[in-house]
């Protein structure tokens, strides 16, 4: 009796099995581990050329050759991983960058092509600006709240002074805990949005390289 064979791993258009990204490629964002891998017979230079042509036609907005990520570690058979290109200006509320690292396939049984591994990361500027706004608006909120309450509730000042209280004593405990919570929520939403749109970018890149 024939024993059924186990299912083969998922393959891309070139017939090469997909692998999860390396830890180096996914260090910036844990969701990067879920991004698909693209295998292609094209060389890294040919990949960049083809995608650059796609970007010039307006079909891959935010594409930039090269990357600021530098070296990403080493791949199989001693092949060096590096950021070959990146795609920017997507994701919300904070913008995300999709980095593509190339790894030349080498060794016995290899077709000599290239593997693209992707990772996402947030642009750092806007999260820092958002955090600065959150922090710097807490104390002015004390003054504003105090003045409003004193205008609309004339007895508010005597109520506080009679108990030895001040507005900041109750205002800060109600507002300060929301600073890290708001920051964490915004980053979480941005990473989820960046992963969803980044995955769409990867599929678009795969489709552009399928004709190779």
Phi, psi of 175 (to 5 degrees): -115, -40
**Per-residue pLDDT tens over the stretch 109-142:** 666 688 899 999 999 999 999 999 999 999 999 9
- Structural domain boundaries in the chain: 1-212
Parallel, antiparallel, or unpaired: how do β-strands 71-74 and 96-104 relate?
A: unpaired
The arithmetic mean of pLDDT across residues 193-197, rounded, is 92
Task: Tell me what percent of the residues of the chain surpass a pLDDT of 90.
Answer: 51
Handedness of CA 55, 99, 17, 107 (dihedral sign): positive
The confidence band for 1, taking pLDDT boundaries of 50, 70 and 90, is very low
DSSP 183-194: HHHHHHHHHHHH
CB 69 within 8 A of CB 98: no
Q: 205: phi > 0 → left, psi -120 to 50 → alpha, else beta; which?
A: alpha
pTM for this predicted structure = 0.70
Task: Tell me what percent of the residues of the chain surpass a pLDDT of 70.
Answer: 73
pLDDT at 87: 93
How many angstroms separate the CA atoms of 112 and 147, rounded? 71
User: How do the residues of the chain divide into helix, strand and coil, expressed in percent and rounded to 5?
Assistant: 45, 20, 35
Which whole-number Å values give the CA distances from 206 to 33, 91, 117, 140, in the listed order? Answer: 17, 20, 11, 50
How many angstroms separate the CA atoms of 121 and 94, rounded? 10
Average pLDDT along the chain: 79
Q: Is the pLDDT of residue 158 over 70?
A: yes
Q: Which two tokens stand for residue 61?
A: 């907005």
């Amino acid at each position: 009796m024939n024993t059924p064979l186990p299912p083969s791993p998922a393959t891309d258009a070139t017939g090469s099995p997909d692998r999860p990204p390396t830890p180096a490629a996914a260090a910036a964002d844990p969701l990067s581990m879920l991004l698909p891998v693209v295998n292609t017979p094209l060389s890294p230079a040919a990949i960049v050329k083809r995608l650059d042509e796609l970007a010039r036609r307006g079909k891959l907005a935010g594409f930039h050759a090269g990357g600021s990520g530098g070296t990403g570690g080493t791949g199989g058979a001693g092949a060096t991983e590096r950021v070959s290109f990146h795609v920017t200006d997507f994701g919300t509320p904070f913008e995300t960058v999709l980095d593509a690292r190339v790894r030349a396939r080498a060794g016995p049984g290899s077709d000599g092509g290239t593997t693209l591994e992707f990772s996402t990361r947030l642009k750092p500027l806007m999260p820092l600006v958002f955090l600065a706004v959150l922090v710097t608006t807490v104390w002015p909120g004390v003054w504003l709240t105090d003045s409003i309450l004193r205008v609309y509730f004339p007895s508010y000042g005597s109520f506080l002074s009679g108990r030895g209280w001040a507005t900041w004593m109750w205002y800060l405990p109600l507002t300060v805990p929301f600073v890290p919570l708001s920051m964490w929520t915004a980053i979480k939403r941005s990473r989820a949005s960046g992963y969803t749109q980044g995955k769409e970018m990867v599929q678009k890149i795969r489709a552009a390289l399928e004709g190779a």
